[in-house]
Amino acid sequence: MKTQTLVQFSDEKRWVIMKILYIAFDNPAVETILGGMRDETLSGLPAFYYPLKMLLEQGHTVDMLLWSSLDHSVVESKYFKKENLIQIKPKHDGILGMLELPLRLSRETRKLLKARHYDFVYGMAEGSHMAVRTAAKMDVPCALRQFGTQEMANVLETKPKGICRWLKALKDYTYITLSMISRKSFILATNDGSRADELYDILGIKKKKFDFYFWRSAVMIPKEQPEVNIEAHGNYPEEYDPLCLSMVGRIADVKRQDRAAKILGEVHKLGVKMHLYFIGYVSSNEMLTATNKVIDEYGISDYVHFVGGQPQAVCRKYARNSLATLLVSEWNRVNIFYEVMGEGSVVVTNNNHSIDEFIDNDENCIVYDTEAEAAERLIALMNDKPKIEKLRRNAYKTATEKFLTIERRFGMEAQLVIDTAAGKDTLNYPKTI
């Protein structure tokens, strides 16, 4: 029996209630949701966490079909209960695991749709494509959330033609490719610099089977710029320390922690003993190995600290109280960019043009071409208090004037889900923001 909720359509006075099935995989946001749904404990993937939180706070019923090998027998959330969690534990790895995932997700989704009569199925990431496809075949409104298409960057770069583009994409990126071609209500991809819109065009996908939304992420911006005494040091991260640098984000190939380590190495070559803090869990042993190789080459192991995954509030503290936050990824239009700018941190970023619309070199950030240049500019910045203050002030100003707020961006997504499930006309939703 469905319970009443308080979602009102703008064009007519009627109330709807929705029963929604999320198809999800383990990520830091899942831990936050199951563990209590407290903003201060969020340690990753806010784009997953906030729409779900908003739907639950509005009173909608959300069940989560979770593919996970972890023990999730205890659920402590105020909103999300144990009975709302359906967990599937994988039995195989490798090739067998790739076959097992879509088959079991599809079978379980079919069972749940028959038994619980959901109004909407929302697949989180490309691995959920068979669950979404199953919902579509059963005429249940459904959609797919893409958090980035970075894994298919070589398809974008080489631009193979004809059948070759599909064979190449399918061979290397099965889940992503298949997720793009099946019928659904919409795909919502993150406008994060990984160029999902270009990928769709290169592969020749006709979006008649679904609406395609390309929305950038959002940030929780403090109402006032956090006060930082930029002369204090010695108690980092609780206090500002000009000899400390931070890099926030999971240890991953696309994040390029090895570049950050090289910057620190070049700083040390110039005689300044700065420290570098990596805040984020390890998702790629290859990048960890590559980073440690750079650390060993420069002999800076005593000055590099791997903090591990931390709640969002702690990540912000590291960024706020460091001389600068290093943003050195393959592309930089990511959540961390928005968050640290909102804290008034000095962002030092490589020149890959992914955030050009937001940045102004030497005004609200520092843009470099080589790691050696970055090192020189960091050392010059260290003792330039007026410039530090200007960069921090302008970073916060940029965040307040140009970034999307959590409430607006994820509120739009939650309402898009509800409107789609209800069969409401969604033509007024922007395709790109």
Instruction: Answer yes or no: CATH 1.10.3720.10 is held by domain 7-218+405-421.
Output: no
Under the banding of pLDDT at 50, 70 and 90, the label for residue 8 is: very low
Per-residue pLDDT, 198: 75
Under the banding of pLDDT at 50, 70 and 90, the label for residue 373 is: very high
The pLDDT tens digits for 76-101 are 787 788 889 999 998 888 778 777 88
* Sequence-ordered list of residues with C-beta below 8 angstroms from that of 342, at least 6 positions apart, any chain: 219, 220, 221, 222, 396, 399, 400, 403
- Any idea which fold 241-402 has? Rossmann fold (3.40.50)
The pLDDT tens digits for 375-412 are 999 999 999 999 999 999 999 999 999 888 888 899 99
Per-residue pLDDT, 330: 80
Q: Please give the average per-residue pLDDT across 237-253, as a whole number.
A: 93
Per-residue pLDDT, 352: 81
What is the bridge-based pairing of β-strands 366-368 and 347-350? parallel
Per-residue pLDDT, 21: 97
Per-residue pLDDT, 100: 84
Per-residue pLDDT, 11: 42
Per-residue pLDDT, 70: 82
The answer to whether 337 and 327 are in contact (CB under 8 A) is yes
CA quadruple 128, 35, 19, 149: dihedral sign? negative
* Sequence-ordered list of residues with C-beta below 8 angstroms from that of 341, at least 6 positions apart, any chain: 219, 347, 358, 364, 365, 395, 396, 398, 399, 403
Mean pLDDT is lowest, of 32-36, 132-136, 281-285, for 32-36
Domain limits, the chain: 7-218+405-421, 241-402
d(CA 74, CA 128): 24
Given a cut of 60, is residue 284 above it in pLDDT? yes
d(CA 175, CA 366): 37
Mean pLDDT is lowest, of 11-15, 177-181, 215-219, 427-431, for 11-15
Domain pair 7-218+405-421 / 241-402, same fold: yes
Per-residue pLDDT, 2: 38
Given a cut of 80, is residue 44 above it in pLDDT? no
Q: Please give the average per-residue pLDDT across 342-364, as a whole number.
A: 89
Exposure letters 230-246 (e unless 16+ CB within 10 A, then b)? beeeeebbebbbbbbbb
Per-residue pLDDT, 1: 33
CA quadruple 168, 253, 413, 216: dihedral sign? negative
